[in-house]
Amino acid sequence: MTVFETIKNRRSIGKMTAQKPTRKQIEQLLEAATHAPNHHKVEPWKFLVLAGKSRAELGAVMAKALAERLGDVTNDRAQAMLNKEHNKLLRSPVVIVAAAEAPHQPNVLAIENIEAVAAAVQNMLLTAEELGLAAMWRTGDAAFDPHIKQWLGLAPDDQVVAFVYLGFPAIQRLERRPTPFEEKTTWLDWEE
Ligand SMILES: Cc1cc2nc3c(=O)[nH]c(=O)nc-3n(C[C@H](O)[C@H](O)[C@H](O)COP(=O)(O)O)c2cc1C
């Protein structure tokens, strides 16, 4: 497959089987991530690979953090939300958390570190596509919660860019036709 074909074929797949990708496959994704462009060559990414019981452990922290954000959790709706949060990470056998370091140098911008990690995540998704893996980029409020960052070993001003859910597809990918680029593009001085 060409890169262009891989880009066009890739779609988020949210339902995975319980089969875990191999260590080699996950390492290939991580290696691809490190080839992302990044300003000042600061390589601002941090990755945590969650498998096995670590997913449930973080799920418990996510549910506790959600309870704190909700305040009143005595009603059925809140309990259902907490239950869902608790089990979220169990939706796939592996989750890679991709985070951006807060800048340590005066000329480095936080937003550019986040952008570089977003590019790294896309490299992972494209590699997953090529390897026949299912992948889904997720965020949500948990990505911005200080308790979650602390559990992940991140600094308070580091940023979680993605929870990348990974596994083998349990469903057909949904078709999506992006808005044609013509509708998003202005050409200036293109003489032809
Ligand atoms: C920054 C970012 C955050 C996302 N967060 C979520 C999420 O929390 N839940 C979710 O279902 N999808 C999430 N997605 C995936 C998008 O829903 C998905 O990419 C979009 O629907 C386009 O579909 P495709 O990836 O199949 O082309 C996120 C994507 C990005 C780039």
DSSP one-letter string for 107-175: T--HHHHHHHHHHHHHHHHHHHHHHT-EEEEE-SGGGG-HHHHHHTT--TT-EEEEEEEEE-BSSPPPP
Q: What is the distance between the alpha carbons of residues 109 and 72, in angstroms, rounded to a whole number?
A: 38
Residue 192 has pLDDT above 90, yes or no: no
User: Residues near ligand 1 with C-beta < 6 Å?
Assistant: 11-12, 137-140, 176
pLDDT tens, 50-100? 999 999 999 999 999 999 999 999 999 999 999 999 999 999 999 999 999
Smallest CA separation from ligand 1 atom 22, residue:
12
- In our burial notation (b when 16+ CB lie closer than 10 A, e otherwise), range 151-178 reads bbebeeebbbbbbbbbbbbeeeeeeeee
Atom of ligand 1 nearest to the CA of 140: 8
Q: What is the pTM of this model?
A: 0.97
pLDDT tens, 3-18? 999 999 999 999 999 9
Calculate the average pLDDT of the chain. 97
pLDDT at 1: 85
